[in-house]
A = this chain, B = another copy of it.
Amino acid sequence: MDQDRLRRLIEALENGEADIDEVLEKLRMLPYEDIGYAKLDHHRSIRRGFPEAIFCTGKTTEQVLEIADRILSNQGEVVLTKVGSELASELKARFQEKVTHASEANMAFLGNCSQKVDGKVAVVTAGTSDISVAEEAVALCDRYGVEVSRIYDVGVAGVHRLIPYVPAINASDVVIVIAGMEGALPSIVSGFTDKPVIAVPTSIGYGANFRGLAALLGMLCTCSPGIAVVNIDNGFGAAVFALSILRIAHSKKNG
């Protein structure tokens, strides 16, 4: 529909029905919906490949519900992160069967996923305590039809625990490695594979960990060059990055 409106506008310009200022004004207005405290970017899925996600921390339930409603109407699907159980109930009350709640990941999805992505992702954690961050990555990959291998609790102090999973890691296209404390697991995983390794530091730990700082610095200073890092506890961002990688492969294959 938007595509149509866009085409008509450009024709109006070319055949003189509109001057350039009118057109620019309209072009500006097309992709937004302004609800006062939020500007919804309904063309985002075209431009970025993903629908707009709502980071729920720091927003009121009313704001979340209204923003979600508008995005759902326009884009057909919504991704919500940091969804507590109370907010999840409100979402279910409002959007009913349209809601999928990934409770371990504190995420929710509205509507059907418009897009499927081919590929395999291994999600590896150092400890049991890193699992909630890992599940954020898993939930998003699942949603997009990506095949996920969960490889949990294979941390550094027992590196031999990792070795049985090296084949599973190498059978994936992308590896997400999640670790708190000293954050060394991504370096080690990277030594066993030629796949891109996305490292997620977590705030798990105490003392000199300084809320994830130790893990973050360790991952950035890795001596293994095939690693890139996202923010502390940002399992969602790691999954979006992994999906963006898989789409390249997908388009190449089909292109």
Contacts and interface: CB of A to CB of B under 8 A. Distances in A.
A217 B225 contact: no
Contacts of A210: 217
Interface of A: 10, 13-14, 16, 19-20, 28-29, 31-32, 36-39, 41, 44, 47-50, 53, 55, 57-59, 63, 67, 118-119, 126-129, 131, 150, 152-161, 163-164, 173-174, 181-184, 187-188, 190-196, 198, 201, 203-210, 212-234, 236-238, 240-241, 244-250, 252-253, 255
Given A48-B193, A207-B220, A226-B244, 19 more contacts: A10-B20, A32-B161, A37-B152, A41-B161, A127-B223, A155-B223, A156-B184, A157-B187, A159-B188, A159-B191, A183-B218, A195-B248, A208-B217, A214-B214, A226-B241, A229-B230, A249-B252, A250-B252, A253-B253
Contacts of A119: 252
12 contacts: A38-B153, A44-B158, A55-B129, A58-B204, A156-B188, A158-B191, A182-B219, A207-B231, A222-B231, A225-B234, A226-B241, A248-B249
- Counting every copy of the chain, the complex holds 8
Contacts of A174: 248
Nearest to A164: B28
A232 B248 contact: no
Given A212-B207, A230-B228, A240-B225, A184 B218 contact: yes
Contact of A181 (B128, B150, B223, B247): B223
Contacts of A16: 14, 16
B32 A164 contact: yes
Question: Most chain-B Cβ atoms within 10 A of its Cβ — which of A49, A58, A161, A227?
Answer: A58
A16 to B, nearest CB: 7
A13 B23 CA distance: 12
Contacts of A196: 241, 244-245, 248
B156 A223 contact: yes
Contacts of A10: 20
Contact of A207 (B47, B223, B233, B240): B233
Contacts of A223: 126-127, 155-157, 181-182
A214 B220 contact: yes
Contacts of A153: 37-39
